[in-house]
């Protein structure tokens, strides 16, 4: 086994341990009371390893959250294979993927939702929602969906509907299945 492979594998594991440690600590204490030393102690790593990967705890947080959002977009918008399913509109499957991804990553997304103001990640959240909305619009355009409502109004409506409902769903312990949430959201959007 080459040294670079071992080094890459070790680097990946170190970053994974640091991210995990950060979110464990976020579940226990206030953001401003978490230090780099707390993170490295929890990850069982030294501070030198931390600073090889991140400038500070904000850099770790932002890289991790950005990665979470990228993984979510990939999970939602990967190509669909519906195999002749005409019962549900195509949008249903994207919304279902969204809720399934939230459910599968419940712990970290709940922390982000509950602590978004304290963590100062509003910009990252806005970027995620805007990128997702634009990707969804492109997919709708591929299906030649016509709409007379201006794009900026559509964007605000859809973002607030999905962001608010997802926050409520997570904060209340996911009282409905992802399938039910997708059906409900599509039903509400279609009636609008």
Report how far residue 187's alpha carbon sits from residue 190's, in angstroms, rounded to the nearest whole number: 5
> In the numeric block, which tokens belong to residue 82?
């519906």
Q: What is the pLDDT of residues 48-95, one digit of tens each?
A: 999 999 999 999 999 999 999 999 999 998 888 766 666 888 888 989
Would you say the pTM of this structure is higher than 0.85?
Answer: no
What does the pLDDT read at residue 1? 45
Contact status, residue 185 vs residue 150, Cβ threshold 8 Å: no
Per-residue pLDDT band for 31 (boundaries 50, 70, 90) equals very high
Q: Please report the sign of the dihedral spanned by the C-alpha atoms of residue 89, residue 80, residue 128, residue 31.
A: positive
Cβ pair 72, 98 in contact under 8 A: yes
3-state secondary structure of 35: coil
Token pair belonging to 161: 């509907």
The contacts of residue 171 (CB under 8 Å, 6+ apart) are: 110, 113, 114
Nearest C-alpha neighbor of 166 from the set 82, 100, 87: 100
Provide the pLDDT confidence category of residue 189 given band limits of 50, 70 and 90: confident
> Does residue 191 surpass a pLDDT of 60?
yes
Q: How many residues does the chain have?
A: 192
| Residue 65 CB burial class (10 angstroms; 0-12, 13-18, ≥19) | buried
Q: Considering only CA atoms, which of 17, 158, 155, 165 is closest in space to residue 102?
A: 165
Q: Residue 115 and residue 25: Cα distance in Å, rounded?
A: 12
The pairs formed by 43-50 with CB atoms below 8 angstroms and a separation of 24 or more are: 43/14, 43/17, 43/18, 44/17, 45/14, 45/17, 45/18, 49/14, 49/18, 50/18
pLDDT in tens, 104-128: 999 999 988 888 778 878 788 788 8
Q: What residue spans of 44-150 are helical by DSSP H?
A: 47-53, 57-77, 90-104, 106-119, 122-142
């Amino acid at each position: 086994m080459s040294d670079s492979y071992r080094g890459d594998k070790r680097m990946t594991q170190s970053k994974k341990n640091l991210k995990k440690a950060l979110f464990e600590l976020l579940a226990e204490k206030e953001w401003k009371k978490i230090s780099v030393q707390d993170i490295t102690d929890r990850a069982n790593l030294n501070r030198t390893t931390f600073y090889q990967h991140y400038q500070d705890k904000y850099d770790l947080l932002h890289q991790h959250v950005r990665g979470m959002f990228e993984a979510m977009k990939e999970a939602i918008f990967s190509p669909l294979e519906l195999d002749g399913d005409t019962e549900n509109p195509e949008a249903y499957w994207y919304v279902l993927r969204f809720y399934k991804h939230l459910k599968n990553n419940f712990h970290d997304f709940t922390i982000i939702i509950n602590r978004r103001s304290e963590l100062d990640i509003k910009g990252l959240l806005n970027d995620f929602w805007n990128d997702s909305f634009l990707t969804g619009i492109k997919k709708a355009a591929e299906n030649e969906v016509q709409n007379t409502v201006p794009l900026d109004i559509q964007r605000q409506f859809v973002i607030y509907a999905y962001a608010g409902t997802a926050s409520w769903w997570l904060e209340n312990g996911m009282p409905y299945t992802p399938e039910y949430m997708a059906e409900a959201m599509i039903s509400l959007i279609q009636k609008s």
